[in-house]
Structure 1
């Protein structure tokens, strides 16, 4: 039906006849001449209709926004002074000689201009219209280029694209599964996969050596601002590898991706820091290195002061007292400090102590703070020296359990960096390595895997594993972080039955439970399992970063809302009684449900 895409028209087609199909983006009538900006997935082109071509002019005159047209015309230079440098087709226009209305359109519920903004609920309700907007077209085309680049790189490195099941067994720990009732096995359920983790390990045991998959995953999580119940994951696994091999493949893939898609070079190699160092310096295991602010430990300086707010955590083995120097932060108003206090309160902090440094040369007299009177001069001098505070700076403090301090000051650091325009331009990738094997949950009184229970420990054998303090054990795990966003996480896996059982034991999973939940894995480990490892990426998150979007919903074709509903199809929806009976399901009202 067409010879070219609208957005592809340029001076290369000068004086030639073209046939285009697309939507009316704008229509303008200027002194008897009709201009239509015709749009398709490649972009826009301006079409001019002159009254001399009576039939074409009359049809164009009836066209309205979002009408679907087929236009034939000749390409010419735009008149002097009307060139649009923002368009690929901006130097030319098409003089329409024939036009056909392929379909009419009602007035859309919102304007499809790039600069127009409609509420997200309206955009999701009419997603098929929202996706016509050039911005959304460009984002989904970017997503396609991302996956294409990833596939090329991995396949050149010998990875095979292998599908794993969508209907599988429920996961015993972690986020909730989406369950699928089985009609042929009444009372039993499949689960939609949260990850292909176990299947990709089984593929390594099966001898496929290198596997990848761009796969849909599902998690029935509680409401969170930027999570989706279904999301896309880049999954990779390789046999006979160590950490260096997996990280090397990942770096090569990301460097090629950013070079091909964005025309930018990433660091080679990516810098690495340990999990402990990341928390100590940045309060986060996914630090944004573009922000030149760091936390400084000061617990030793305040351990002996009478100020219990500081000395208590300073003397608590699980506590922490940290300082965050903000250059020029002395200019912050009381209102701004109160807002930051409210911010850290959301992460468990009971307050936000601070010192304004008016003149460090005057000692305590040169400082402005409600807490200075509770500190010794020696402690204050040590804090000023260790933080490198200068005239006009402000020092924030966090004093609590280490987890609370890290979460509160880590978040404050990011907000300050953006609010005070401290974020440096560019892309700053890094690896975070040497993760703890386990984290202790004080509320449950038990250990949990920091990554997952199939991550290999650094311990040489199961006996060494049992002899060490579980909370001091390090894993062979690694996360890749870009500009403060965790792109992916992976690890070398356990490939020995005894080691896997020892890890299960530390997690409180006895042999009977392990057999019931993971019997197929434990059995497979006994048939010659090779050393193997891998990594998984959140593809939606990666594309969001590359597109400069604010939410993963902006780079997904048909996302759900924050309440995990689809406004377009009105899912989830009720099903008929007959279908429920066939599945052997009877509904009952849950307490508190509407």
Structure 2
């Protein structure tokens, strides 16, 4: 028999009854019934119940061993009595009567309970992540992640994509975030950059004739943490296709995503084709370019109705209306609670009215609406008796942000929300450029994108009116990916970068490898890069992305388990031609 196990804990079934087995795993739980001890033994495959009677040599040792001790157990598989079957476990019809155990790994007092799973602060969980990952929810999430990635690889390979790797040590690239820099020992004063994305390399693979590429690519960005963004590093399904337009990318990704989400969440509806929503339409209808389409409500811009209004709360301000049908029987608390929600999100309040059975407005601000404005408003929001209309007023950006969240919350409270579905959409037609805070023109999205209209558009149109062949994929309000039809023409690229303030010499210096390649026969190509961490987050139904990553950094970009980032010795700094200049402490600044 194998030194440690003949079977895994989770594979034993009634077909194994009367078989002698050897199992190894963690002591998950123990119940001492006086003369009989029941132990739940856990390994990666699952849990099996061990039974140890007082006449067994294993009885005394198992009476005192702490939870999470690693043991080897020898014994015989028995069928449980019908009244003792545990339908919650795949192994619930059998148990193993133990004759002998061996302690393989002792366990010190635990900083928190693995089972039952008590609530623990994130700092402690990440410091002892190896224990946190033993807990069933976290273990299940990581197993799901592995299965999802394996499925993605198979689906992409089946569609003729090649799984190719790109460099980790490379040059800096303008992906919109800070690079992580790696000093060169051999080239004093020079640095590599960890890739924010394999953008240039995957385009070069297309120029090299590989046609269809994908990679589960690690990406590194020195940016702040959010619930749906892990600081430091993340993984994406990086995809590029030659001789492809926007719709070609859409078809592949929609097929893969519908299959993937149906495979891992069969109880939730996932349909295609995904709606295509223009960027400006998304902002107008949903207040965001990441709309949650499970909410069956839309915003309406009614600013023009109140431009010359005597109602000072709305006059001259940007005003968004949110019509919510079916509110005739909603109590006052429904409106008050939505108002409180808006205030929590930064609004000063949430005005509202309701259309009664006579087609007239009632509610706190009804008296401020003239007959003419009231009738126009009903027409604008397509209001029917029982429709409530909520208003946000103020700065356009602030109003859009608050009302986009109110839209989703109102849909949930009004039973106009599809909780049991994945609703995807493509956001398309992004502006190529935008103005920064200093008033200068800069790229608004991926700088390597093809402008709609090509070179002629760049030379003849107002830069702020030029649209790009750029697109995002959004699911349930979470942005999963950005992508674009790429600019493969040197002439168009030089002009596109010139408008954003990059002279030809700078383009050649910073992107010389790719621009040089485009002079030697570059095919039209397009790509996309959905985030793997966010895909798993949605499938695991987790609100925080760190719950789907085995060893994430904390919100301050620290690895509490390994102690990174760390200081290095003076000898190592000297070898790398570096010196450290720390900022003055707050105390010294105060003095």
Structure-2-length-normalised TM-score: 0.92
Q: Verify the 8 A CA contact 1:225 1:562 in the aligned structure 2.
A: no
2:536 is matched with 543
Once the two structures are superposed, residues 550-592 of structure 1 have per-residue CA deviations (whole angstroms, 9 ceiling, x without a partner) of: 2111010100111111111111111111111221212223256
Q: Secondary structure at the residue paired with 1:59?
A: helix
Give the structure 2 partner of residue 377 of structure 1: 371
Q: Distance between the aligned counterparts of 1:280 and 1:566, measured in 2?
A: 41
Residue pairs, 1:115-514, within 5 angstroms: 115-172=117-174, 174-228=176-230, 229-263=232-266, 266-307=270-311, 310-313=314-317, 320-327=318-325, 328=327, 331-332=332-333, 336-337=337-338, 339-345=340-346, 351-357=348-354, 359=356, 361=358, 363=360, 366-370=361-365, 372-389=366-383, 393-418=387-412, 422-441=416-435, 443-459=437-453, 461-514=454-507
Deviations 1:99-122 (A, max 9, x none): 211121112111112542211111
The residue number in structure 1 matching 2:63 is 61
Pick closer, same or farther for the CA change 1:334–1:274 going to 2, 3 Å.
closer
Deviation at 1:77, TM superposition (A): 2.2
1:256 shift after superposition: 2.2
Deviations 1:411-434 (A, max 9, x none): 222233445664313333333243
Residue segments in structure 1 that go unaligned for 5+ positions in a row:
314-319
The answer to whether the 8 A contact 1:456-1:492 is kept is yes
In the TM superposition, what is the alpha-carbon distance from 1:158 to its structure 2 partner?
1.5
| 1:114 to 1:420, Cα distance in 2 relative to 1, 3 A | farther
Contact 1:240/1:530, CA 8 A, preserved across alignment: yes
Deviation, 1:447, is: 3.0
Choose from 508, 512, 516 the match for 1:519. Answer: 512
8 Å Cα contact 1:481/1:487 also seen in 2? yes
Shift of 1:293: 1.8
Deviations 1:175-199 (A, max 9, x none): 1111111111111111111100111
| Residue of 6, 15, 35 corresponding to 2:9 | 6
Q: CA deviation at 1:71?
A: 1.2
* SS of corresponding position for 1:361: coil
Measure the CA separation in 1 of the matches of 2:91 and 2:565: 43
Structure 2 Cα separation of the partners of residues 93 and 516 of structure 1: 69
- SS in structure 2 of the partner of residue 569 of structure 1: coil
Q: CA distance change for structure 1 residues 361 and 259 in 2, over 3 Å: closer, same or farther? A: closer
Distance in 2 between residues matched to 1:131 and 1:59, nearest whole Å: 27
| 1:234–1:538 contact (8 Å) kept in structure 2 | yes
1:570 and 2:563 equivalent? Answer: yes
* Cα shift readout 1:264-315 (whole Å, capped 9, x = no counterpart): 56213223222222222211212111112211222333334234654424xx
Relative to structure 1, is the Cα distance of residues 79 and 524 closer, same or farther in structure 2, using a 3 angstrom cutoff? Answer: same
Task: Give the direction of change, closer, same or farther, for the CA distance of 1:337–1:424 in structure 2 (3 Å limit).
Answer: closer
Using the alignment, how far apart are the partners of 1:11 and 1:21 within structure 2? 19
Q: Normalising to structure 1: TM-score of the pair?
A: 0.92
Q: Aligned in 2, Cα 1:390/1:78: closer, same or farther, shift over 3 Å?
A: farther
How far apart are residue 477 of structure 1 and its match?
1.8
Aligned counterparts of 1:98 and 1:353: Cα–Cα separation in 2 = 69
Q: Which residue is equivalent to 1:26? A: 29
Coordinate RMSD, CA, aligned = 2.3
Matches of 1:205 and 1:458 in 2, distance apart?
21
Question: How far, CA to CA, are the matches of 1:541 and 1:312 in structure 2?
Answer: 40
Unaligned 5+ runs, structure 2: none
Q: For the structure 1 residues 289 and 338, does the alpha-carbon distance in structure 2 shift closer, same or farther, using more than 3 Å as the test? A: closer
What is the CA deviation profile of residues 223-256 of structure 1, one whole-angstrom value per residue up to 9, with x for unaligned ones? Answer: 4344221111110111111112111111121122
Cα distance, 1:533 vs. partner? 0.6
Answer yes or no: is 1:109 the counterpart of 2:111: yes
Give how far 1:378 is off: 1.1
For these two proteins, the number of residue pairs brought into alignment is 579
Question: What is the deviation of 1:337?
Answer: 5.0
